[in-house]
Chains A and B, each alone.
Chain A
Amino acid sequence: MADPKVGEQVPELRVTPDKYLPHRYAGASGDFNPIHIDDEFAKMVGLPRNILHGLYSMGLVAKANAALADGDPRALKRLSVQMRGMGVPEQEIVVTGTVKSADGDRVVVDTVATQGETTLIKNAEAELEL
Chain B
Amino acid sequence: MALKTDAVGKEWPATTYQVGREKIKEYANALGIENPVHHDVAAATKAGFRDVVAPPMFAVVYSSPAVGPAMFDPEVGMNFAAMVHGGQQFEWAEPACSGDEITTTAKLLSIEEKGGKGFYVFETNSVNQDGAQVVRGTWTLIVRGV
- Residues of chain A touching chain B, judged by Cβ–Cβ distance below 8 Å, are 15, 21, 24-25, 27-31, 45, 54-56, 58-60, 62-63, 66, 71-74, 76-83
Contact = CB atoms under 8 A, between A and B. Distances in A.
Instruction: Determine the main DSSP class of B at the interface with A.
Output: mixed
Interface of B: 23, 26-27, 29-35, 37-38, 47, 53-57, 60-61, 64-65, 81, 84-92, 95, 138
Per CB-CB distance, the 9 closest pairs between chain A and chain B, nearest first, are A71-B35, A80-B89, A28-B30, A59-B57, A28-B27, A62-B57, A76-B56, A24-B30, A78-B91
B57 A81 contact: no
B55 A73 contact: yes
Contacts, number: 94
A73 to B, nearest CB: 5
A58 B33 CA distance: 13
Given A27-B26, A62-B55, A73-B37, A83 B60 contact: no
Nearest to B31: A59
Contacts of A58: 57, 88
A45 B83 CA distance: 13
A30 B58 CA distance: 11
A30 B37 CA distance: 22
B56 A73 contact: yes
B36 to A, nearest CB: 9
Nearest to A24: B30
Contacts of B64: 29-31
Contacts of A82: 86-87
Contacts of A74: 95
A28 B55 CA distance: 12
Given A66-B33, A81-B89, A83-B86, 5 more contacts: A31-B64, A55-B85, A60-B31, A79-B56, A79-B57
B85 A77 contact: no
